[in-house]
């Protein structure tokens, strides 16, 4: 074999290997705040949108739990994730260099609802009602910001009691749709739910207002965000992180945004979620040592 031919073959082999390296998919996930059918419907189209914008194959993979979403991010099974406030803080602390890059426009001032079964006689009020004491209460997932962390913080702050002391029974439904179902059925008398999920289910006609109602709206706090691993530029090319961020900030299609549901995305930084970490430390969910 001549040197020139060998050189050409080696060059071709290198080109092929380069092409294989560039074929690595960019993978994302999302916390399972609703049932899996909802999640697949929501995020399949988001993967297609990002693939077109980024010029690489983008895959969405579902996870079964909030901790599984954090683990997938930590273990590099995904490079991008749609986290809640708490799961985002937990994940970024486990992956040095990772960043919150975008949040929903509504996530700068998110709220939780407390909802109650009609049998309680509770009605909407500005203050947490004393009649909550002794009720059967369900949070969402243990790792949920809107379904557990912030509602528990506000309950502790108001009643100066842990939920286990305040309520006759405390449960964790696993997701917001399940919380609504459990309270609407009367299995639990009161529950904490993400306001955006409640409003979306109400709009779809999936809530029977004769059986369940909102009784309290929490103060505002920062919540969901997109977090990305710090090594994506090294793997997908210089400037890739910024391309992902811009693709999210430039998402305008109402059908895509309805999947979250959000009106759009705005810039986010890790510092925006310092209050979430402080709250998690305050109620003993996270260790104060960084």
Final residue belonging to a domain, choices 184, 217, 250: 217
- Provide the H-helix boundaries in 186-250: 195-203, 232-236, 240-249
Report the pLDDT value the prediction gives residue 42, as an integer from 0 to 100: 80
Final residue belonging to a domain, choices 217, 240, 261: 217
Task: Kindly state the average pLDDT of the residues 91-110.
Answer: 96
Residue 32 — very low, low, confident or very high, per pLDDT cuts 50/70/90? confident
- Domain limits for position 37: 3-108+222-282
Residue 23 — very low, low, confident or very high, per pLDDT cuts 50/70/90? confident
**What distance lies between CA 254 and its chain's CA centroid?**
19
Task: Kindly state the average pLDDT of the residues 221-228.
Answer: 96
Q: Do 213 and 167 have their domain in common? A: yes
In a domain, 289, yes or no: no
Which bin fits 239, alpha (ψ -120 to 50), beta or left (φ > 0)?
Answer: left
Percent of the chain surpassing pLDDT 70: 90
Residue 274: pLDDT above 70? yes
The C-alpha angle with vertex 222 and arms to 153 and 45, in degrees rounded to 5, equals 125
> What count of Cα atoms within 13 Å lies in the side-chain half-sphere of residue 180?
25
Q: Do 212 and 236 have their domain in common? A: no
Radius of gyration (Cα) for the chain, nearest Å?
22
Q: Do 199 and 158 have their domain in common? A: yes
Question: Number of structural domains, the chain?
Answer: 2
Q: Do 115 and 212 have their domain in common? A: yes
Q: How far apart, in whole angstroms, are the C-alpha atoms of residue 205 and residue 220?
A: 26
Report the pLDDT value the prediction gives residue 288, as an integer from 0 to 100: 85
User: What are the pLDDT digits (tens) for 50-85?
Assistant: 999 999 999 999 999 999 999 999 999 999 999 999
CATH number of the domain to which 61 belongs? 3.40.190.10
Which of 116, 120, 96, 133 minimizes the C-alpha distance to 229?
A: 96
Percent of the chain surpassing pLDDT 90: 82
Q: Do 150 and 90 have their domain in common? A: no
Final residue belonging to a domain, choices 160, 186, 217: 217
Quickly count: other Cβ atoms within 10 Å of residue 250's Cβ. Answer: 10
Q: Do 79 and 23 have their domain in common? A: yes
In a domain, 190, yes or no: yes
């Amino acid at each position: 074999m001549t040197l020139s031919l060998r050189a050409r073959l080696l060059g071709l082999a290198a080109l092929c290997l380069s092409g294989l390296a560039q074929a690595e998919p960019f993978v994302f996930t999302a916390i399972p705040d609703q049932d899996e059918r909802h999640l697949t419907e929501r995020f399949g189209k988001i993967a297609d949108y990002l693939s077109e914008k980024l010029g690489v194959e983008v895959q969405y993979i579902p996870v079964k739990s909030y901790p599984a979403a954090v683990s997938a991010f930590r273990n590099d099974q995904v490079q991008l994730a749609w986290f809640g406030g708490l799961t985002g803080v937990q994940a970024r602390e486990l992956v040095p260099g990772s960043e919150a890059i975008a949040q929903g426009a509504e996530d700068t001032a998110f709220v939780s609802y407390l909802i109650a079964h009609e049998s309680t006689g509770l009605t909407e009020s500005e203050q947490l009602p004393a009649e909550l004491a002794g009720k059967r209460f369900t949070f969402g997932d243990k790792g949920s910001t809107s379904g557990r962390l912030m509602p528990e913080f506000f309950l502790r702050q108001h009643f100066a009691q842990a939920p286990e002391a305040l309520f006759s029974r405390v449960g964790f439904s696993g997701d917001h749709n399940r919380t609504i179902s459990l309270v609407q059925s009367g299995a639990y008398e009161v529950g904490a739910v993400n306001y955006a999920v409640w409003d979306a289910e109400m709009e779809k006609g999936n809530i029977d207002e004769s059986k369940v109602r909102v009784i309290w709206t929490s103060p505002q706090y920062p919540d969901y965000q997109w977090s990305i691993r710090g090594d994506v530029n090294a793997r997908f090319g210089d400037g890739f992180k910024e391309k992902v961020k811009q693709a999210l900030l430039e998402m305008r299609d109402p059908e895509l945004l309805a999947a979250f549901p959000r009106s759009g995305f705005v810039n986010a930084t890790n510092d925006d979620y310092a209050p979430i970490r402080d709250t998690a430390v305050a109620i003993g969910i996270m260790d104060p040592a960084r």
